[in-house]
Structure 1
Amino acid sequence: MPEFPDIILYAIPFFVISIGLEIYGSIKDNKISYNTKDALTSITMGLGNTMLSLLSKGVVLFAFMLIYENFRIFTIPFAWWSFILLLFADDFAYYWFHRISHENRLFWASHVVHHSSEHYNLSTALRQTWSGGFYTFIFWLWLPLIGFHPGMILLQMSVSLLYQFWIHTEAIDKMPKWFEAVMNTPSHHRVHHGSNPLYLDRNYAGIFIIWDKLFGSFQPELKEEKVVYGLVTNIETHNPIKVAFHEWIAMGKDVFSGKKSLRDRVKYIVKPPGWKHDGTGKSSDDLRREWRSSVGSAQSAVGSGQSSVGSGQSSVGE
């Protein structure tokens, strides 16, 4: 097996330089895209993720090697074409990991960290989980099973993470149409970070936006619907510990407190964020339906008003 470098560590200087250039550009153009406390929190979360990955990658590598050495169906060689296959296979796995992380509260508890910033810039890309690395790898277990070597998989996972860094920016409006049609872009990913009902739980792509288009989760960014970043209910803190664990604490309270059936306690772990056993909770689909209903009602009211004005004008004319 060839030795693959840890490209994330090598990319750290690139991250720093890119963030510096983005800050310079925002100051030059009189745009306020950075908040110092928010950016420092994101960087702290990224550093914590990097340190904890020394432990979590050991767990991941052990699990991958266990399956590869004992249960693999095929043996995929180290060849150029196998890395192309892995590029799409890994991205497919990432799509479903990302989607489930929004649809299942257990996985949302770690992923919510990345969505907790109310700002959108390159530092936001560094706002990573401190807990997810220890269990979210299960979405990739099928890759060593079909014969991809664990070293190859870990390298491609790093490539995916590196690709997703540059799309966390408002400095780029739109890429060329052909690129927007196939690849994940800043425009597509801005939608994903939106708390607007229209944008909630959309555009889960890692590298290729094609998965969202295939599985019905794609939403283009609209000029008339400016993205509002953050959570539906923001956490209002820059404390890294609270950022990392606030949803775990909230989920624990929902599971273990109050009078509930065992079934409902389990549902607080497996149901989407926002679900409540008494029916008072609202999922992203509920919020989207309410929003569309209100928009439809407003448009109908405007249409009725215009009709009334038109009738009045007709009467005047007569």
Structure 2
Amino acid sequence: MDPIKPAFDPVTLAIPFFVLAVVLEIALARLKLAHANYETRDTLASLTMGLGSNVAGLLTGGAAFAASLWVYQHRLFDIPMTAIWAWAAVFLLEDLTYYGFHRLSHERRFWWAAHINHHSSQHYNLSTALRQTWTGGLAGTWALWLPLAFLGFPPAMIAIQKGISLVYQFWIHTEAIGRMPRWFEAVFNTPSHHRVHHARNPRYLDRNYAGILIVWDKLFGTFQPELDEEKCRYGIVRNLGDFNILRVAFHEWAGMARDMARDPRHALGYIFGPPGWSPDGSRDTSAKLRAQWEAGRAAETPAE
């Protein structure tokens, strides 16, 4: 196997499956055989974002590949692509890297600006999985995977595993599947776990960052199970009022620019603070919304 050029791209191979699965989910919903909410303009926005993401990837992927190749040339070890243990190791380390990337993309505004569009749909269906970023490459999150190349994992190996992770995450964007068997829910990311991640309920905000393995969230304190008594409400804290594709793609970048122009003294806070950060604390962050919710719940609990 060529350690530089992947022998195949899991995402490209899976595209026909993605399309067929979306069509099947729509058909089953129309026949009332599965629970799935689709809205035409919302679905078109998701598909357009997915197409644009592929184009953006072509434009920025060269820099990421060149950086990965340069780091690999200075690697610590020679890790063979033919070894089973190497694939097991890259699976675990890539999945942990994805957890870190995903958490960063929610907890710091600069990277949230690139990721927010994936959460901007108020529906949760398979087309939502295709609502991908146009600006992730420019935000430089690809650099988080460079340490894997430095350790000695071939760039082709890393690329294949990243593709496998993205393909896996497609099927968990659905309400048509309730809960998987208990043992599966305990170890893997599932539709139930990922519904929580896409919910804007204060209880559910910024939880379940997993790619494939939910164990990272359990280890690092970001796990929240889906509760039957609290239905997920999807979207972002302040939902967009239209389906303008440019607004979907760039509205948070524009908002960040406006904040910095209005108050340049606090530019670093607006860029690298949590989404919703403000110098006087007047805006809502996830932590603030959760604290308000917890205070309200405590007030409703009768004293013993």
Question: Please, which of 289, 292, 301 is the counterpart of residue 290 of structure 1?
Answer: 292
Of 164-173 and 234-243, deviating more is 234-243
* Structure 2 unmatched ranges of 5 or more: none
Query: What corresponds to 1:167 in structure 2?
Result: 172
**How big is the shift at 1:257?**
1.8
Output one character per residue of 1:49-96: Cα deviation in whole Å (capped at 9) or x when no partner: 112211222111101001111x21111111222111101100000000
Question: Please, which of 28, 31, 50 is the counterpart of residue 25 of structure 1?
Answer: 28
Distance change in 2, residues 1:32/1:84 (3 Å): closer
Alignment of 1:39 onto 2:43: yes
Of 74-83 and 1-10, deviating more is 1-10
Query: What corresponds to 2:212 in structure 1?
Result: 207
Q: Supply the distance in 1 between the matched residues of 2:196 and 2:36 (Cα, whole angstroms).
A: 19
Q: Supply the distance in 2 between the matched residues of 1:123 and 1:87 (Cα, whole angstroms).
A: 26
Q: Supply the distance in 2 between the matched residues of 1:217 and 1:280 (Cα, whole angstroms).
A: 25
Amino acid at match of 2:115: H
SS in 2 for 1:141: helix
Query: What corresponds to 1:130 in structure 2?
Result: 134
Contact 2:36 2:175 in 1 (8 A): no
Query: What corresponds to 1:311 in structure 2?
Result: none
Query: What corresponds to 1:238 in structure 2?
Result: 243
Q: Supply the distance in 2 between the matched residues of 1:171 and 1:56 (Cα, whole angstroms).
A: 35
Contact 2:208 2:214 in 1 (8 A): yes
Query: What corresponds to 1:307 in structure 2?
Result: none
Alignment of 1:58 onto 2:62: yes
1:1-318 mapped onto 2 (5 Å cutoff): 1-2=1-2, 3-29=6-32, 31=35, 33-69=37-73, 71-78=74-81, 79-134=83-138, 135-258=140-263, 260-261=264-265, 264-300=266-302
SS in 2 for 1:164: helix
Q: Supply the distance in 2 between the matched residues of 1:56 and 1:207 (Cα, whole angstroms).
A: 25
Amino acid at match of 2:45: T
Q: Supply the distance in 1 between the matched residues of 2:85 and 2:7 (Cα, whole angstroms).
A: 17
Larger radius of gyration: 1
Q: Supply the distance in 2 between the matched residues of 1:178 and 1:154 (Cα, whole angstroms).
A: 29
Q: Supply the distance in 2 between the matched residues of 1:163 and 1:6 (Cα, whole angstroms).
A: 13
Note the aligned Cα RMSD (angstroms).
Answer: 1.4
Q: Which has the higher contact order (CA 8 A, sep 6+)?
A: 2
Q: Supply the distance in 1 between the matched residues of 2:199 and 2:32 (Cα, whole angstroms).
A: 23
Amino acid at match of 2:281: G
Q: Supply the distance in 2 between the matched residues of 1:181 and 1:172 (Cα, whole angstroms).
A: 16
TM-score w.r.t. the length of structure 2 is 0.95
**How big is the shift at 1:155?**
1.0
Q: Supply the distance in 2 between the matched residues of 1:93 and 1:253 (Cα, whole angstroms).
A: 32
Amino acid at match of 1:195: R
Query: What corresponds to 1:313 in structure 2?
Result: none
Q: Supply the distance in 1 between the matched residues of 2:149 and 2:279 (Cα, whole angstroms).
A: 39
Q: Supply the distance in 2 between the matched residues of 1:76 and 1:205 (Cα, whole angstroms).
A: 26
Query: Identity, % of aligned pairs?
Result: 51
Q: Supply the distance in 2 between the matched residues of 1:254 and 1:148 (Cα, whole angstroms).
A: 41
Amino acid at match of 2:297: V
Q: Supply the distance in 1 between the matched residues of 2:301 and 2:30 (Cα, whole angstroms).
A: 39
Q: Supply the distance in 2 between the matched residues of 1:207 and 1:32 (Cα, whole angstroms).
A: 23
* Structure 1 unmatched ranges of 5 or more: 305-318
Amino acid at match of 1:63: A
**How big is the shift at 1:32?**
5.7
Moved over 6 A (4+): none
Q: Supply the distance in 2 between the matched residues of 1:57 and 1:86 (Cα, whole angstroms).
A: 21
